[in-house]
Amino acid sequence: MATQQPAGTGERRFRAVDVLTGAIDRNAAPKRVRKQISAYLYPEQVRRLGELHARLSSSTNERVEKSEIVGLAIDLFADLVEEAERDGMEMKSLDAIRTRFETLIQRPK
C-alpha cells in the first residue's frame, strides 16, 4: 500500500504519487468497521437497553443505535478494568468488577 502509518507515532508517511492522485485525501479518514455479534441479555438488560435507546434517540437531531450503546458500555467497562488494575487491584471476575463499579458510584449492593 502506498500510505503507511508508523506504529505509535500518529504520523502518516506518504509518497508524492499519493498527493498527485488524491489518494492521500481518500485514505485520511479510516472507515468505521462494524462486526455483528449475538448477545444474550436478561429481560432486565433488554428493558434497560430499550429505555436508554429511547432516551438517547428522543432528540430530533441525533439517532442512536442500540449497538452504539452496547459498544460504549464495552469501552467504559474496559476502561474501568484498566483503571482498577493500574490501582493494583486484580480484576479476574465479573463480581470483582461489579464490586469496583458499585464502589465508584457508591451504589448499595
pLDDT for 3 equals: 45
Chain CA centroid to CA 64, Å:
14
Encode pLDDT of 42-81 as tens digits: 999 999 999 999 998 887 677 889 999 999 999 988 898 8
End-to-end CA distance of the chain: 53
- DSSP 8-state class, residue 61: S
As a whole number, mean pLDDT of residues 3-13 equals 53
Residues in contact with 2: Cβ distance below 8 Å, sequence separation at least 6, in sequence order? 14, 15, 17, 18, 23
As a whole number, mean pLDDT of residues 17-32 equals 63
As a whole number, mean pLDDT of residues 12-29 equals 63
Give the DSSP H or E segment for 79.
helix 66-86
Place of cell 502509518: 5
The C-alpha cell of 103 is what?
A: 464502589
Chain CA centroid to CA 53, Å:
16
The answer to whether the predicted template modeling score (pTM) of the entire model surpasses 0.85 is: no
